[in-house]
Amino acid sequence: MGMFDGIAGFGVTFSTMFKKVVTEEYPLVKKVTAPRYHGRHQLNRHPDGLEKCVGCELCAWACPADAIYVEGGDNTPEARYSPGERYGAIYQINYLRCIGCGLCIEACPTRSLTMTNEYELADDDRQDLIYTKEMLLAPLLPGMEQPPHPMRLGDDEQDYYVQGPEMARQGREQAGEHDLDTDNRAGANVEPGAALVGKGPLAKRGSPEASGATGEGRS
Partner 1 sequence: MTQAPEQEAPPVPEGHVRLTIDGQTVDAPKGELLIRTCERLGIVVPRFCDHPLLDPAGACRQCLVEVEMGGRPMPKPQASCTMTVADGMVVKTQHTSPVADKAQQGVMELLLINHPLDCPICDKGGECPLQNQAMSSGRAESRFVEEKRHFAKPLPISDEVLLDRERCVLCQRCTRFSEQIAGDPFIELLERGAHQQIGTEETAWGEGEEFQSYFSGNTIQICPVGALTSASYRFRSRPFDLVSTPGQCEHCASGCSTRRDWRRGGVTRVLAGEDPNVNEEWLCDKGRFAFRYPTSPQRVLAPMVRGDDGELVAVSWIEALERAAELLLAARDGSGPGRVLVGDDGVEAEGDPKKGVGVLPGGRLTVEDAYAYGKFARLALRSNDVDHRARVHSDEELDFLAGHVAGVAPGHVSYAHLEAARTVLCVAFDPEEESPIVFLRLRKASRHGTRVVHVGSWTTPAVAKTGGHLVRVAPGDEPAALDDLPDDVATALGEPGAVVLVGERAAEVPGLLTAVAGLGSRTGARVAWVPRRAGERGGVDAGALPTLLPGARLLTDADAREAVAAVWGVPTLPESPGRDVTAMLRAAADGVLAGLVVGGLEPADLPDPALARAALAEADVVVSLEQVFSEVTGYADVVLPVAPAVNRGGTYRNWEGRDRTFATTIDPGQGSSGRVGGTAAITLPDCRVLDSLAVEMDVDLFTQTPAAAAAELAELGTVAVTPSTPRTRPDSEPAGRAPGTVRLATWRQLLDGGALLAQEPDLPGTARPARLRVAAATAERLGLVAGEPARLHAAEQPGRHAEPDPTLAGLDLVVELADLPEDVVWAPSHVPGASGVTTLAALGLHHGGPVRVTGSAAPESGDQQ
- Radius of gyration of the CA atoms of the chain, in A: 22
136 binds ligand SF4 (CB under 6 A): no
Of the candidate residues 60, 63, 188, 210, the single one contacting partner 1 (CB under 8 A) = 60
Residue 39 burial (CB count, 10 A):
20
Closest CB to partner 1 among 86 and 149? 86
- Least distance to partner 1 from the beta carbon of 165, Å? 18
130 phi and psi, to 5 degrees?
Answer: -95, 105
Closest CB to ligand SF4 among 43 and 93? 93
User: Which of ligand SF4, partner 1, none binds 171 (CB below 5-8 Å, type-dependent)?
Assistant: none
* Integer angstrom CA distances of residue 179 from 91, 171, 204: 28, 11, 16
User: Which of partner 1, ligand SF4, none binds 151 (CB below 5-8 Å, type-dependent)?
Assistant: none
43 binds ligand SF4 (CB under 6 A): no
Question: Burial of 34 by CB count in 10 Å (0-12 exposed, 13-18 middle, 19+ buried)?
Answer: exposed
DSSP string, 9-49: TTHHHHHHHTSPP----TTTSPPPPPTT---SEEE-B-TTS
Of the candidate residues 61, 166, 174, 180, the single one contacting partner 1 (CB under 8 A) = 61
104 binds ligand SF4 (CB under 6 A): yes
User: Which of ligand SF4, partner 1, none binds 79 (CB below 5-8 Å, type-dependent)?
Assistant: none
Which stretch of DSSP H or E encloses residue 107?
Answer: helix 103-107
Residues at the contact surface with partner 1, assessed by CB under 8 A: 54-58, 60-61, 71-74, 84-86, 89, 109-110
